[in-house]
């Protein structure tokens, strides 16, 4: 998955992948060292889970911008990610059509919630 995301992002003239991490612990370390403009964060990371990574980094750097990417299609996870400060939540099956617009919107300081997720949250599913 990371290889495909890296290829798509690096193919854009206005984007570059500056780092990757295998687990939550490494994600925190790499973020601190690289301070990327936008971070893609898997919610199901080993060692330190995504919610703890997000909370830790946002506590240290409130301006950090995150897009949570997850295979979990659970409204509670979505709400938790957004309440912890993620600017976007993408289900992994949305990446092909939503990834680049999400990165650009979040980079520009906007939230990006795909229509399918927004409808579910609005309707209380």
Over residues 28-68, the pLDDT tens digits come to 999 999 999 999 999 999 999 999 999 999 999 999 999 99
Task: Indicate the domain borders of the chain.
Answer: 2-123
Pairing assessment for the beta strands 88-91 and 39-42 based on DSSP bridges: unpaired
Contacts of 91 (CB under 8 A, 6+ apart): 70, 71, 72, 73, 114, 117
Tell me the per-residue pLDDT of 72-101, one tens digit each, with 9 for 90 and over: 888 899 999 999 999 999 999 999 999 999
Distance of CA 64 to the CA centre of its chain: 11
| pLDDT confidence band for 115 (50 / 70 / 90) | very high
Provide the 3-class DSSP secondary structure of residue 14. Answer: coil
Q: How far is CA 110 from CA 21, 43, 90, 93, 113, in A?
A: 25, 20, 15, 22, 10
Asked if 117 and 91 count as a contact pair (C-beta separation under 8 A), the reply is yes
Which class in CATH covers the domain with range 2-123?
A: alpha beta
> Is residue 118 within 8 Å of 100, Cβ to Cβ?
no
112 touches 101 (CB < 8 A): yes
Q: How far apart are CA 24 and CA 59, in angstroms?
A: 15
Reported as a pLDDT band with limits 50, 70 and 90, residue 124 is: low
């Amino acid at each position: 998955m990371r290889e495909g995301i890296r290829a798509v992002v690096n193919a854009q003239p206005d984007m570059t992948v500056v780092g990757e991490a295998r687990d939550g612990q490494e994600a925190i370390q790499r973020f601190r060292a690289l301070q990327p403009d936008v971070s893609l964060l898997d919610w199901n990371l080993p060692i330190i889970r995504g919610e703890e990574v997000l909370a830790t980094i946002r506590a240290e750097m409130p301006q950090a911008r995150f897009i949570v990417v997850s295979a979990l299609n659970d409204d509670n996870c979505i709400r938790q990610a957004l309440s912890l400060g993620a600017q976007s939540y993408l289900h992994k099956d949305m990446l092909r059509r939503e990834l680049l617009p999400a990165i650009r919107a979040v980079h520009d300081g906007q939230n990006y919630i795909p229509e399918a997720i927004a409808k579910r949250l609005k309707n209380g599913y």
